């Protein structure tokens, strides 16, 4: 009698199980082990935001790709080709990321317009584009408080997790839950007050897991100008930049290993 195989178990058949390379013991992980010489080289970073201005000198290099999500009735389409930043927000995030990982590849996925206004369906479509185009990490300095998008966002965020694409998400600036920052499968970030861009903290009581620089941060803005900004939106790209450095040294790292590395590098982790 043929034995029935439960669903989802076929990938664990002996002939299909793949060997997994060990990662250094993480209890004593340091910055050199985590990042080495990593400057983001070869790492594709999707910035799902208001657009990125490639002409700003703070970007330290080109924008490697552009996609604009356009909603027309019930139709969603992706328009390829350079676009402008509608309000400066996306350029600010790109500048922070490139300041930490200058060799990373930046892909601007525009889902927000002026005033940081956007539709939840465009947001979901932007994340889906990043997954389908094999991005290595996504910066999501945006979110929604509307419960009607909870399930749709959850589905696409889980899809990213299963494809080992980290989504670094900013917490809401108001004390109101927003999505996807509340999901356990993302890297959720809020702001701290310190100036060191590499100093961050781990929170053992999520949903906000990490705190990074986000208060009075000088960032590139519209028309090749600069602005000083405050918000969780600007803490998230600090973690994204650090992740890009790690992924350059350890490509294809599963998200649970990346989170563990971040925890080990946090400034509040004490040694016995």
In a domain, 16, yes or no: no
What pLDDT, in 10s, does the model give residues 77-126?
999 999 999 999 999 999 999 999 999 999 999 999 998 888 999 999 99
269 CB-side CA count, 13 A: 17
What pLDDT, in 10s, does the model give residues 171-204?
999 989 999 999 999 999 999 999 999 999 999 8
In a domain, 6, yes or no: no
State the Cα–Cα distance between residues 178 and 43, nearest whole angstrom.
28
So what's the pLDDT on residue 1? 53
In a domain, 89, yes or no: yes
In a domain, 270, yes or no: no
Average pLDDT, the chain: 92
So what's the pLDDT on residue 139? 98
CATH of residue 38's domain is 3.40.50.200
Domain that holds residue 202: 32-265
State the Cα–Cα distance between residues 132 and 150, nearest whole angstrom.
21
So what's the pLDDT on residue 41? 97
In a domain, 207, yes or no: yes
φ and ψ at residue 25, rounded to 5 degrees: -50, 125
pLDDT: is 26 or 215 the higher one?
215
pTM above 0.85, yes or no: yes
So what's the pLDDT on residue 7? 62
Number of domains in the chain: 1
In a domain, 8, yes or no: no
């Amino acid at each position: 009698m043929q034995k029935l195989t439960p669903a989802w178990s076929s990938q664990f058949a002996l002939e299909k199980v793949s060997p997994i390379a060990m990662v250094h013991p993480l209890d004593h992980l340091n910055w050199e082990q985590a990042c080495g010489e990593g400057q983001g080289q070869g790492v594709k970073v999707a910035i799902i935001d208001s657009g990125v201005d490639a002409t700003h000198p703070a970007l330290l290099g080109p924008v490697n790709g552009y996609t604009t999500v356009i909603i027309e009735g019930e139709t969603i389409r992706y328009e390829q080709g350079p676009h402008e930043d509608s309000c400066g927000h996306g350029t600010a995030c790109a500048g922070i990321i490139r300041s930490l990982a200058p060799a990373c590849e930046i892909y601007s996925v525009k889902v927000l317009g002026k005033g940081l206004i956007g539709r939840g369906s465009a947001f979901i479509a932007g994340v889906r584009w990043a997954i389908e185009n094999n991005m290595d990490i996504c910066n999501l300095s945006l979110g929604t408080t509307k419960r009607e998008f909870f399930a749709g966002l959850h589905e696409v965020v889980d899809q990213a997790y299963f494809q080992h694409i980290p989504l670094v998400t900013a917490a809401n600036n108001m004390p109101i839950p927003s999505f996807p920052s509340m999901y356990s499968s993302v890297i959720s970030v809020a702001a701290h007050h310190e100036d060191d861009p590499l100093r961050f903290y781990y929170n053992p009581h999520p949903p906000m897991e990490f705190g990074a620089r986000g208060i009075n941060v000088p960032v590139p803005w519209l028309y090749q100008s600069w602005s000083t900004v405050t918000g969780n939106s600007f803490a998230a790209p600090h973690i994204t930049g650090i992740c890009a450095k790690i992924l350059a040294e350890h490509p294809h790292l599963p998200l649970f290993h990346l989170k563990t590395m971040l925890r080990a590098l946090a400034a509040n982790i004490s040694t016995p």
